[in-house]
A and B are shown apart, each in its own frame.
Chain A
Amino acid sequence: MSQTNGTIPLIRVDISLNDTERSVEIEPRELLIDVLRERFRMTGTKRSCDVQVCGACTVLVDGMPTSSCTTLCADVHNRHVTTIEGLAYEGRLDPVQRAFIAHGALQCGFCTPGMILAVKSMLSLYNNPSEETIRHFLRGNICRCTGYVKILEAIKDLVQNPLSFEPEKK
């Protein structure tokens, strides 16, 4: 009883994408990264290794880091998805983004969206993460430019001095 010779019905997926309700009709096989990049034109999410090792395609699903390259879009039906485009609030960058900029914790920037979202998730799980916790949590986010030193410095500074990275009042 193979259905692949005929047409497979499209399925509807409802996503709270960066706190905006979105609906999309997709084939069941479509991957989250493709829907984000090609349907919603949110190209901040990067494809690199395509096998959930590098972390460049990281998005948050209900606040937890997720490899969008290896996640079916159908699997985020009725869930909250956060991409790098959703982090700034009223045009003001998130403290994690501000810390990265202040420390020059990026060079080419390709890993940065995934790195920043992973840090965002880590800070929601740990109040005051140790350097060991930071290193362990970010083990799956690869950067080929910085050597990680400035990334670690940025995160440690943010953890120790959170108020100094709050966005300025408009």
Chain B
Amino acid sequence: MRPARFALHRPTSLREALALKAEFGDAATFHAGGTELLVALKARVLQYDHVIDIKQVQELRDIRLLDDGTLSIGSLSTHHVIANDPLVRQLIPGYAHLSEHVANIRVRVAGTLGGVLCFAEPHADAPTMLCALDARIALASTTGRRDISAREFHVGEFATAREDDELLVSIDVPRQLPGDKSAYRPFGHTERPAVGVAAVWSPQGLQRLRLWVGAIVAVPAPLLEAQEAAERLPPDASFEDVWQALESVITAEAEKIDAHDDLHGGAEYKRHLVTVLAQRALKECLK
């Protein structure tokens, strides 16, 4: 299979990329790693007259620490680059670990974080963890810039809050507090997660635990009852104490998730995975 015919554009600046998109409108798409887009173009699920390859836009590649402690990850950063980036490994090692385990090495080398977020396949790893980390998503178009919470970015299966003329510029992870630990654990028999659970344990934070589940429904969702139960736990609680307090709450909350049978597994199986993966993620945070 090969894609339908298209004209290829290779802008070298963000300004030029946005201008091309504004010119061609919905007849054009942005192209980065191609790991999602090319599969869809080959299957003719998507078809565009114009493909705007943004890989030469250097300003989308930086991973840098801002003055307020925010870690800003350029949207063109590949999973492989993120997994090996010294700042990511130092500040959010749990996210580096996630990046090192996305799909396979070829996907990690080509696939970008911006791409996986914009494609919005529900069975992805990054969105769940970015929700737990309360990241923000920066978008740009010819008419301006804005940023929105990662928790509001995904609005449905293959659907995001990004307007068609906007380009995802960066993913901004707020400063971690001393003692914050984060971990993500997925499981699935394909290269995509059937279910993934992300946990952020924050001894000094306003919220003790952020616990998000992804892939099981269209967009990542917090386990609100588990988070509330965790508020009553001391900041230095052991994993055993935390799990004793939360296991039944998580299991009961997972039972209520509106999961469906699909090629990733039965609904009951996926609900079961929520508890198993929450345990693994929490154990990693509190080890």
B110 on the A face (CB < 8 A)? yes
How far in angstroms is the closest Cβ of chain B from A122?
8
A27 on the B face (CB < 8 A)? yes
Of B32-40, B130-138, B210-218, B262-270, which stretch is located at the interface?
A: B32-40
Q: How far is the CA of A51 from the CA of B118 in the complex (A)?
A: 19
Contacts of A71 in B (CB 8 A): 34, 38, 110
Interface size for chain A: under 10, 10 to 19, 20 to 34, or 35 or more residues? 35 or more
Q: B28: nearest residue on chain A (CB-CB)?
A: A1
Instruction: Out of B1, B24, B41, B51, name the residue touching A1 (CB < 8 Å).
Output: B24
Q: How far is the CA of A72 from the CA of B23 in the complex (A)?
A: 23
Can you list 22 contacts pairing A with B, beta carbon distance less than 8 Å?
A1-B27, A4-B4, A4-B49, A28-B6, A29-B2, A29-B6, A52-B107, A53-B191, A55-B104, A64-B109, A65-B109, A66-B109, A70-B34, A70-B35, A70-B110, A71-B110, A72-B34, A72-B53, A74-B8, A75-B55, A140-B104, A140-B191
Contacts of A123 in B (CB 8 A): none
Residues A31 and B53 in contact, CB atoms below 8 Å apart? no
Q: How far is the CA of A75 from the CA of B2 in the complex (A)?
A: 15
The number of chain B residues with a CB under 8 A from chain A is 33
Contacts of B38 in A (CB 8 A): 31, 70-72
Chain B residues engaging chain A, CB cutoff 8 angstroms: 1-8, 23-24, 27, 31, 34-35, 38-39, 41-42, 49-51, 53, 55, 80, 101, 103-107, 109-110, 191
Q: How far is the CA of A55 from the CA of B103 in the complex (A)?
A: 12
Instruction: Out of A4, A75, A137, name the residue touching B6 (CB < 8 Å).
Output: A4
Contacts of B49 in A (CB 8 A): 2-4
What 5 pairs across the A-B complex have the smallest Cβ distances? A140-B104, A28-B8, A29-B3, A67-B106, A70-B38
Q: B103: nearest residue on chain A (CB-CB)?
A: A140
A139 on the B face (CB < 8 A)? yes
**How would residues 109 to 148 of chain A score, 1 for a CB under 8 Å from any chain B CB and 0 otherwise?**
0000000001001000000000000001101110000000
Contacts of B3 in A (CB 8 A): 29
A50-77 residues with Cβ-Cβ distance < 8 A to B are 50-53, 55, 58, 64-67, 70-72, 74-75
Instruction: Out of A34, A64, A75, A140, name the residue touching B34 (CB < 8 Å).
Output: A75
Residues B39 and A27 in contact, CB atoms below 8 Å apart? no
Given A3-B49, A27-B5, A71-B34, 8 other A-B residues pairs in contact with their CB atoms under 8 A: A2-B49, A4-B5, A28-B8, A31-B38, A53-B191, A72-B34, A139-B105, A140-B103
Q: How far is the CA of A2 from the CA of B25 in the complex (A)?
A: 11
Contacts of A149 in B (CB 8 A): none
Contacts of A85 in B (CB 8 A): none
A8 on the B face (CB < 8 A)? yes
Q: How far is the CA of A109 from the CA of B7 in the complex (A)?
A: 37
Q: How far is the CA of A28 from the CA of B27 in the complex (A)?
A: 16
